[in-house]
Amino acid sequence: MSVIQEISEALQKGKANDVKELVQRELDDGTSAKEILEGGLMAGMDIVGRQFKANEIYVPEVLIAARAMAAGTELLKPLLVSEDVQPRGTIVLGTVKGDLHDIGKNLVKMMMEGKGFNVVDLGTDVAADRFVAAATENKADIIACSALLTTTMTEMKNVVAAAESAGARDTVKIMVGGAPVTQQYCDSIGADAYAADAASAAEKAVGFIES
């Protein structure tokens, strides 16, 4: 097995220290950061995403794999900047106003980063105007909103309205998700996409960029 494959395997098993060691070894051997990111870390995270979607693994395993990915990307970040690897696109992500749940949102972030996106994480309790201002400031392709409460998901409608009044509706796609959110709700507020889970959210984001 190549070291790149070993990196993917170690990430899937959530072995952060192994990932760190293997990434450093591969860098010392002269492999580019881009190759390590795509062939090792992102490939491993793709498999984790598929397993999570198929209910073959659960939240704790995904969080441990995310920690391992963070350990690897930490070493690569400065090199990726100098190698001028362009991110796939920029996504502004947050949990909507009034809502403090962030476990699902953090998984969405991790899956999106695993697909090569630059994710601007606004955290929790994010008002509609802040989503739109951050999207404009960062020239984002996508605004991604998470909500876990039936009482807060209505803020997503305000995000769509705020993007419209800021004249940003043609340049930014709006994606919604979280336990109480449905495709029907997405359609009713005029958002562009709904995703039921973190892996699907990342796949849909890729679909927007490649379409």
Residue 178 interacting with ligand B1M (CB under 6 A): yes
By CB under 6 A, is residue 209 in contact with ligand B1M? no
Stretch in the footprint of ligand B1M (CB under 6 A) among 14-22, 23-31, 39-47, 146-154: 146-154
- From the list 7-15, 27-35, 71-79, 190-198, the region that binds ligand B1M by CB under 6 A is 190-198
Instruction: State yes or no: residue 101 binds ligand B1M (CB under 6 A).
Output: yes
CB of 109 to ligand B1M, least distance (A): 9
- DSSP symbols for the chain: --HHHHHHHHHHTT-HHHHHHHHHHHHHTT--HHHIIIIIIIHHHHHHHHHHHTTSS-HHHHHHHHHHHHHHHHHHHHHHHHTTPPPS-EEEEEEBTT----HHHHHHHHHHHHTT-EEEE--SSB-HHHHHHHHHHTT-SEEEEE---TTTTTHHHHHHHHHHHTT-TTT-EEEEESTT--HHHHHHHT-SEE-SSHHHHHHHHHHHHH-
> Least distance from C-beta 162 to ligand B1M, angstroms?
16
Q: Does 157 bind ligand B1M (CB under 6 A)?
A: no
**59 counts as binding ligand B1M under rule CB under 6 A:** yes
201 binds ligand B1M (CB under 6 A): yes
**What is the contact surface with ligand B1M in residues (CB under 6 A)?**
59, 98-105, 107-108, 144-146, 148-151, 175-180, 195, 197-198, 201
